[in-house]
Amino acid sequence: MRYIFHAVRMNLRAAAQYRASFLMQSVAQLVMTGCDLIALLVLIDRFRHMGRWEGTEVMFFFGAMQIAFALTECFGRGLTTFSSVIRKGNFDTLLLRPRPLLLQLSLNACDPRRVGTVAVGAAALIVSSLRLGLVWTPGRLLLLALSIAGTVCTMAALFLLEAAFCFFSVQSVELINMLTYGGRQVCQYPADIYPAPLQLLFTWVAPIVLCLHYPVSWLVGKPMADFSPFLLWLCPVAGPAFFALMTLAWRAGVRRYRGTGS
């Protein structure tokens, strides 16, 4: 844990060396995510409902997904840029360091600019919960936090799969991007508005819906599935379990790696 905090602190200090650039890029992230929120508000104002969901409820899903994805990009930036690490031969340097390889890669490039996206997501959560009149107890707050944490693990697992794929081809990771960035776009809305194949994809293959949508739908009072409370609390566990599964693909890629001779 001391190594993790040290790596995050060094990345933050590096970003703070150019304060004007850091501030402008953070504001740019806030504006881009804010435009997505404005587009959602326009959509809600025009159509009022998405399936059985009211606009304010959709906003709650939007805010939770934005926070989860922003945290993944902030603390797992090294996974999202792994193709360049392979191409430049920098992976050989990571192999020589006496630290866990996956931990090094995850913390290789922290991206604190995502704080703007987190702010927009948090604002959407707060505004929508106030308009819905949700009563927040410690248990409900904990369930929301676990749901977001499980989603972060799921998104990190997808980025890890993308990184593992780079051992075989560094030019064809767009296939995995369909699940990462595509999953972000799809899962910022309630899953049951989509056709069954898409629901199955993001529930049982890439379990974003299982980690986030089932608990969140219960929090807003419209459960997507008739789960018992015990199963509801187990849903976010699918994220860490999926991440553990993807580490097997990562290790297979590392065993295949032969180095660049650098």
Token code pair at residue 15: 């970003």
Query: Which single residue is written with the structure tokens 């990190």?
Result: 156
**Residue 81 φ/ψ, nearest 5 degrees:** -110, 20
pTM for this one?
Answer: 0.89
* DSSP state, residue 6: H
Report the chain's C-alpha Rg in angstroms. 19
Six-digit token string for 144: 């929301």
Segment 29-33 long-range contacts (CB within 8 Å, at least 24 positions apart): 29/113, 29/114, 29/115, 29/116, 29/117, 30/116, 30/117, 30/119, 30/120, 31/116, 32/117, 33/66, 33/70, 33/116, 33/117, 33/120, 33/121
Distance of CA 27 to the CA centre of its chain: 20
**Ramachandran angles phi, psi of 235, nearest 5°:** -55, -45
- Give the pLDDT score at 172: 56
Per DSSP, what are the bridge partners of residue 49?
Answer: 54
Query: Domain ranges in the chain?
Result: 2-256
Nearest to 242 by CA among 133, 181, 128, 161: 161
How many CB atoms neighbour CB 200 within 10 A?
Answer: 13
- Residue 255, pLDDT score: 87
What is the mean pLDDT for each group of 10 consecutive residues in the chain (262 residues)? 76 79 83 87 81 90 94 83 82 84 80 84 93 92 96 93 82 73 90 92 92 94 85 92 93 82 60
Task: Output the pLDDT for position 173.
Answer: 65
Contact 64, 125 (CB under 8 A): yes
Closest CA to 121 of 216, 191, 15: 216
What is the DSSP secondary-structure string of 34-93? Answer: HHHHHHHHHHHHHHSEETTEEHHHHHHHHHHHHHHHHHHHHH-HHHHTHHHHHHHTTHHH
Residue 257's pLDDT is: 83
CA neighbor of 81 nearest in space, from 117, 105, 112: 105
What's the one-letter identity of residue 149?
A
Q: What is the pLDDT of residue 65?
A: 94
